[in-house]
Chains A and B, each alone.
Chain A
Amino acid sequence: MAGRIQQGDGDVIELRRVSKQFDNGLLAISDVDLSVGASEIVAVIGPSGCGKSTIVRLIAGLDRPSTGSVQVAGHRVSGPDRAVGIVFQQPRLMPWLSVEKNVSFGLDRDAGSDGVVAEAIERVGLTDFAEALPRELSGGMAQRTAIARALVTMPPVLLLDEPFSALDAFTRIDLQQHLLDVWGWYRPTMLLVTHDIDEALILADRVIVLSGQPGAIHSEIVVDLGRPRARTDRAFHSFQDRAMSELSQSSQVVTSGSQAHGSRRPPGSGR
């Protein structure tokens, strides 16, 4: 797998001078410029409360920017769109539906979609659990179901909002590999929000470091490592060091900022 590909298609996700102020007056992000090319995997890292989730919610059309423009595939985002799939930190499965029914949840019924659903479930390795209810699943399996649900329509854009942060380390590493497999399947454009440096470096072509608060872009790291990437690699370690120092610089900005703003967090950023 090559690092960056199909960059010629133009930017699929594009944020221009985007700020978001919530009704309670909290400025979540300020003047963010961000673009993600076709089939690119970009990770956004930063301290908690720096508006990472806000960026995802704006791209998904779940919130509107206060100023600036958010575009997906050249069109201004005006609301949720089937072209954008999203995986939240919590699996958010419907507890009364089986894995299979959860995966097909957003599809139009009687659309002859059985094959698509079965394939999405197979991609995340849950074929044997298609009939299981969410309460019978482990945390990792539940999150795989959520990934399959987001993938079932093969959206050109896949947003992941701290998708693995509620899972244990082993499951997390396993799911990161699953995610790369999925990317290899149809190469969606992926934006991943995380606070896990290793996760960002394992998965992403570029890592955007945010500072907060309000969230603003602090720096960008181009991860020009081949794949598969090994955590034990010397080159990987040097990226870790770099990301760590960028992150600590960015959180120094936070420390001074958070004294002024208290510990308030934007609504919805917690989940």
Chain B
Amino acid sequence: MTGLATRTPKERIDAGAGSARNIERRAPRWALALILPITFLGLWELGAVTGVVSSRLIPPPSTIGATLFDLAASGDLLGHSLSTTWRVLGGFVLGASVATVLGAATGVSERFESIFDPTLQALRNIPSIAWTPLFILWFGIFETSKVLMIGLGVFFPVYLTFSGAIASVDRGLVEVGRVYGFRTTTLIKRILLPASLPTYLIGLRNGLGLGWMFVVAAEFLGASQGLGYLLVDGQQTGRPALIIASIVMFALLGKITDRLLATAGARFTRWQDGFSRETAM
């Protein structure tokens, strides 16, 4: 008998992993993940059909689906989605670029950090949305102020994560570079940046998430295009199905862009020896 007690801890872990794999073979993980939402949607639909739930305020999934379909068929959905996505991407590229430069500088140079970091930390405490009225006064109500708003939201998580990641790169690795007489620019390029890449990627994904948050705020404040505009429109014209359809689109686009970013980044962080190598979660 090979009882559990006679196995090494390693074997026991392997045995555990084996039974987990068995479950996966019977029902893949994504199928398990779908149980809860599908049950929920089913009950929701049922409630609307039987009249338990007021379908005027809480439209059933079928109505929302129909709304999405109509929007898509008329081409409006694509237009709104594209203008929102472009704003997010514009703001993301802007905010992330500035954050990367400043984060690298403050992470590498203590003097640079003393100059910039206190001010940036102070500014960070202002809720970025509080800037909106000022931005609208300065840059008008059109694209510029929106993209800048989003950029500001993206900036801080990227800056903080990247600066911190660089500053905490293993001193031993940096010393290897010093042994080879690397200058600061070479140290940054060949040791500091690659070593902080995994954390930087997390910062970028956080930043992108905030970008999607800020685009809603930006589009609330005067837009004639975009998913945020659809939200406002749905509220003003009393169409909850339109509101929920926009929310679904936000979730979808947010997930897709995050996934793309994670997949692109995973190529560069495959060397990691972490608890879970699956970076793209």
Contacts and interface: CB of A to CB of B under 8 A. Distances in A.
A92 to B, nearest CB: 5
Interface in A71-91: 79-82, 86, 88, 90
Nearest to A146: B176
B172 A80 contact: no
B178 A62 contact: yes
A92 B172 contact: yes
B174 to A, nearest CB: 10
Contacts of A167: none
A135 interface: yes
B273 A106 contact: no
B3 interface: no
Interface residues on A, range: 20 to 34
A92 B181 contact: no
Contacts, number: 50
B104 interface: no
Contact of B195 (A80, A90, A96, A271): A96
A96 B180 contact: no
Contacts of A133: 271
Chain A contact surface mostly? loop
A59 to B, nearest CB: 12
Nearest to B197: A96
B273 A95 contact: yes
A92 B194 CA distance: 14
Contacts of A92: 170, 172-173, 175-176
Contact of A105 (B176, B178, B268): B176
A82 B172 CA distance: 18
A117 to B, nearest CB: 14
A211 to B, nearest CB: 27
Given A96-B194, A105-B190, 6 more contacts: A62-B175, A62-B178, A79-B181, A95-B273, A134-B271, A271-B172
Task: Return the 6 tightest CB-CB contacts between A and B, nearest first.
Answer: A135-B273, A106-B180, A96-B271, A92-B172, A96-B194, A80-B179
Interface of A: 60, 62, 79-82, 86, 88, 90, 92, 94-97, 105-106, 133-135, 271
